A and B are shown apart, each in its own frame.
Chain A
Amino acid sequence: MEKTVSATNATHATSSTLGATLGFWAANIFLFAYNFVLAGGFFFQFALNEFPCPLCMIQRYFMMLACFGPLYVIINTKRGTITTQKMIRGYGMSLLAALVGSTASIRQILLHIKPGDPGYGSAVFGIHTYTWALVSFVVVMVFSAIMMIFAKELTPKGTEYNAVATINVWLFAILIVANLIAIIALEGFNFLLPSDPTKYMLFH
């Protein structure tokens, strides 16, 4: 009887450790995926010389705000203060940012939905970047919902933090600072971005 109880406890411990590791890596994958998307935005801006429109920038802000969810989980894991409640709060932030961010993407899709409209900027695999942004927001909403449903099982234990997470966080830092510099150059001394930017206002 005692052997059966200890075997069950061992199985629970293994599955909870696996869940905690999975939860931590899920937060890292989320942050890395949006790092990739934000870096892709810079590729369009600087390599293809396509200026981001105001709605594009708004979608980037919502992506950055959504990233604060997994960042909250990663930071608390590093400190060893992560709890299920904090995990839910983090993904709640992501869910809210993705929900409102998706309305900005839908708005931009609707602006160019008329047949014959070439859309704004280049397309990737036949789909414009703002439509990809909507796809990313929907994925984040589904992902965050799953993380919240299984928050108890997926809460990291506080021992999972590693160098990969540090690199991921600093990559996010570089992208935030780069976005700040880019928006200063793009907006210049104006209060709002022009609806169809064609130059860096700071230098004109």
Chain B
Amino acid sequence: MDIIIMLIITLMFLKVIIKGKFDKRDFMLWILTFVLVVVLFKLHATSNLNLNL
């Protein structure tokens, strides 16, 4: 999953640099990457502790 995230970040960056602009599609790609990183965080940071919030 880390590789997928880094691939998207790299492609998004290269797209922005080559096109020389950051349009709505790139913005959507940024949001998608953001959501994927949050999901990855959730997968790694799930606790078994019976925390009382």
Say whether A169 contacts B6, CB under 8 Å.
Answer: no
User: In the complex, are the beta carbons of A93 and B43 less than 8 A apart?
Assistant: no
Chain A at the B interface: mostly helix, strand, loop or mixed? helix
Number of chain A residues close to chain B: CB under 8 A: 39
Task: Judge if A203 is at the interface, Cβ distance under 8 Å.
Answer: no
Q: Does B44 contact A (CB under 8 A)?
A: yes
Q: Is A123 an interface residue (CB 8 A)?
A: no
Q: With A176-B10, A180-B6, A193-B2 in contact, do A100 and B38 touch (Cβ < 8 Å)?
A: yes
Q: Is the CB of B6 within 8 A of A75?
A: no
Main secondary structure on B side of the interface with A? helix
Interface size on B, residues (CB 8 A): 27
A72 touching B22, Cβ below 8 Å: yes
Q: A65-B30, A65-B34, A180-B10 are in contact. Are A75 and B21 (CB under 8 A)?
A: yes
Docked complex Cα distance between A60 and B41 (Å): 12
A/B interface sample: 28 pairs, CB < 8 A: A54-B2, A54-B40, A55-B45, A58-B44, A61-B6, A61-B9, A61-B33, A61-B40, A62-B37, A65-B9, A65-B33, A68-B30, A71-B22, A75-B21, A79-B20, A89-B27, A93-B30, A100-B38, A104-B45, A172-B13, A173-B13, A176-B13, A179-B9, A180-B7, A183-B2, A191-B1, A192-B1, A192-B43
